Amino acid sequence: MKVLVCISKTPDTTTKIAFSSDHASVNYDGVKFILNPYDEHALAKAMELKEKQGAELTVINVGTADSDQIIRKCFAVGADKGVRINTEPMSGTQVARLIANYAANQSFDVILTGRESIDYNGGMVGELLAEMLDMPSIGYCSKMEIEGNKATLTRFIDGGEETLEALLPLVVSAVKELGEPRIPNMRGIMQARTKPIEVLDENVEVHTVTKQYEAPVPKAACVYIDASEPEKLIEILHNEKKLF
């Protein structure tokens, strides 16, 4: 079985995002990057397929050299191969097209993505990939078992769960219940340092560009009013906020 996990690099969840002076791009100076959390869950499931069913596990990223750190993290966890398509990711369509071009003649049985990246939150790369590769796609998957050429998958639906069967090859996007992220051990970390990453200089035309970013309006400071003084609250709402 051949498994491909698509991995993206996202700012650490505690990062304060700033924009360039013209607000046309994000200022990544000093930003710490991590492996997108949903991709960690996808990777954990792929590791289970490797350990229990002997799957060969490849990870792929569309990104520049600063993505190598997340590919090495996947090596440390147990990925067999790492591929980086050496270009700036500029749109979900571009990312999906580049991965689809790579995967088209590689005979992957399962392609895993996270349900979304935690920065741009498009939730589109997996679905686009499935369409481009003419494969079935199961999104928001919380469980997956594979037997022969058939997968049994569970996904959350409003107020319950849905269980589906699908033939391989297929594209699956992971929610956090799909797999418990692995912590690399020292041996894995050492081996990951020297493992070669396959770097491919490919690109496709990008049809969408961000024109402008706007940060949300900062929240006003919280004012605490003692429960014994409700007249103060009325006073603020009436005279200061002019709500009535």
Which positions lie near ligand FAD, rule CB under 6 A?
Answer: 6-8, 36, 38-39, 60-63, 88-92, 95, 113-114, 116-117, 119-126, 208-210
Angle at alpha carbon of residue 14, lines to 13 and 16, rounded to 5°: 110
Smallest gap, in angstroms, from Cβ of residue 122 to ligand FAD? 2
Smallest gap, in angstroms, from Cβ of residue 225 to ligand FAD? 41
Nearest residue (beta carbon) to ligand FAD: 122
**Residue placing its CB nearer to ligand FAD in the complex, 89 or 179:** 89
Evaluate whether 63 touches 88 at the Cβ level (below 8 Å): yes
Smallest gap, in angstroms, from Cβ of residue 78 to ligand FAD? 17
Smallest gap, in angstroms, from Cβ of residue 199 to ligand FAD? 13
**Residue placing its CB nearer to ligand FAD in the complex, 8 or 58:** 8
**Residue placing its CB nearer to ligand FAD in the complex, 32 or 242:** 32
